[in-house]
Each structure stands twice: as C-alpha cells, then as structure tokens.
Amino acid sequence: MVINDLFIRRFRRSGGMSEEELADMGALRCQRQSFRPGEVIVSRDQPLDRLRILARGMAARCHYPHGRDEVRVITALHVPGDLVDLEGLVQRRLDHDIVALGDCEVEAVDHHALRELTDGNPALSRVLWGFSLADAAIYRQWLVAAASLRSSAHLAHLICELYTRLAQVGAARNRRLYLPLLQRELAEILGYSSIHINRAVRDLRDRELVRWSGSEIAILDWDGLRRLAHFDPGYLEGG
C-alpha cells in the first residue's frame, strides 16, 4: 500500500517541495501495522531499517531511567503524520521506546527506498531535517512550560499544543480533540502526581475552559485557555 495522505499533507504544509516531488513521496510503498494500547511500536533495543509514520492514534516517546522498566518518563507525544523514529535514518537504534497510547496504526517505509529519494532530492532532505528541528522545538517548549507554569496552566498548554498539532493535519477540528491518555500518563508527561492532574482537570472545568469527558475534550474558551497557558503556537509552525 502507499503512504497515508496525512503524511503527504504535512510535507505539503512544510513548503519547498513541488507537486511532482510530493507525488514521488506518495508513491512510496509501505507496510501498515496496528498496535493496541500499551504495545511497543519501536523498542530501544531494536535495529532500525524502516521509518515509521503514525497514521492513526497517538504514541509516546518513553524513557526508563537507570534501566528500570517500572519507572517511565514520557518526553514526547506523537500525533498522526509524525515520523516516530526519524533518528533511525542516521542511528542504528533509539535510546527510548515508542509506545502506543490507545489504538494506533503505523505505516513503515523501508530506509533504502527513502534514501534513494533523499540522495537525489535536496528539498526532501531539508524537509526531513526541518521535521527534526520541529521535534526539538517542541521538546524545548516542554522544558520551558515545566519550569514556568503551574499545574492547571501547564495542562492547558499541553491541550493547546495537541489541538494545534492535530488540527494542522486535519485530525481535530471545531475545538474538539480526542486524547487517549490516562491521568497516570498525563502525570508522567507533566511531572505531577495523579492527584495534582485530577485537580488541574477540575480547575479547567470550573473555569469553563474545557468540557472533559473520558478521552473527549471540547475546548469551550480557546482564547481563555491560551491566556492561561501563555500559549504561542509559533514554535509549531516549522513542522
């Protein structure tokens, strides 16, 4: 099968590629795989020979400090259209796991086929490098948010970011998004206890900024949520 349109849409939005070059990307053959919640999509010990594109769902980049699997730190979230193991084009292995959050579908493209395109296409190489820079910008913003925002504002920032990223690829609209994260996983992302996350969710509801039911979030006051989070989407424009 050929690559998902979400991925091509992300390439088109990045600019710098002709329709012919986009068509070449769209013609790449891929293998689609499905993953259940909590399944490892890419293991940190796994040799890398394919590039994986998240086609549906959400995935997390998970680190295990000191090699202890019972202690997990989530340092990134991947949404549809993301290249979850882009580092594999230049590294043999990852230093982390990519884990499914909720049901996921992933498309895998052979490294050799992708390199055949990039070797003769500087524009494609620049776009892939731009994706890597965008990932780094998101990670830096997570560090800034963790250092400067308190629990409710920190959670609001994450919601604003995820909605913006999902909307950019057409996976969210009308100020509504699906967030397949348990409170325990939100705690791992934001660095709080589950009790603090529960209080932060309740605070956002009490302020009438969001309606949060299970995994469904409706943003009731986008401007208010942005103000609380001090959210500026400029760091997301490069990806």
- List pLDDT tens digits, range 153-201: 999 999 999 999 999 888 899 999 999 998 889 998 999 999 999 999 9
- For 196-238, write each residue's pLDDT tens digit: 999 999 999 999 999 999 999 999 999 999 999 999 999 998 6
- Tell me: pLDDT of 151 over 70: yes
Predicted pLDDT of residue 62: 93
Cβ burial, residue 45 (10 Å; 0-12/13-18/19+): exposed
On whether the CB atoms of residues 130 and 105 are closer than 8 A, the answer is: no
Domains and CATH numbers, the chain: 5-139 (2.60.120.10), 149-236 (1.10.10.10)
- Tell me: pLDDT of 68 over 70: no
Distances (CA, A) of 203 to 117, 154, 164, 194: 49, 12, 22, 14
As a whole number of Å, the CA-based R_g of the chain is 18
pTM of the model as a whole: 0.90
Helix or strand holding residue 74 (H, E): strand 73-78
Question: Could you tell me the two tokens for 187?
Answer: 């705690």
SS3 70: coil
